[in-house]
Amino acid sequence: MTAAERHEAIVETRVLPDESATQALAAVLAAQPSLRNAFVELHGNLGAGKTTLVRHLLRALGVPGRIKSPTYAVVEPHEVPGLNIWHFDFYRFSDPREWEDAGFRDLFASPGLKLAEWPEKATGLLPVADLAIELQVQADESRRAILTARTPTGAALLRGLKEVRA
């Protein structure tokens, strides 16, 4: 049994009333040292704000220029000094052979931050996420963010969020 399998999930819920709250959450996440080698899954319906959260996170990490959604490319790489980042969007992912052909196994095995939208489309191929973020659109257009730590790295990320909140 791996450390991730032995780790009990820790859950925190936040309300994001507007995009500036999403940006603030991204900034706090970006400031966490354990994010540098984390795997973060983003869940939610179309329009829930997954890509918006990722864009704010990438900006907070120092990614310059235009940040494209990897919907058609499946992955967009980014690099800032001392950090490799891969933003995956598995929405159009349908062939498991693509996983090997594209070298995704090697990317997930390498150091750096991995962010995956629509991870359920690659079920069985992805490692256990350190942190899963589910975004739900509320009736008032705010977002409910449910953050679930699934590994010790994810737990460290949630502890860091709580420390900033306090």
* 121-148 pLDDT tens trace: 888 889 999 999 999 999 999 999 999 9
pTM above 0.95, yes or no: no
pLDDT (tens digit per residue) in 12-63: 999 999 999 999 999 999 999 999 999 999 999 999 999 999 999 999 999 9
Give the pLDDT band (50/70/90) at residue 8.
low
Q: Are residues 160 and 166 in contact, defined by beta-carbon separation less than 8 angstroms?
A: no
Phi-psi region of 14 (alpha: psi -120 to 50; beta: other; left: phi over 0): beta
> Cα-flanking dihedrals φ and ψ of residue 82, to 5°?
80, 10
Give the pLDDT mean for 102-126. 90
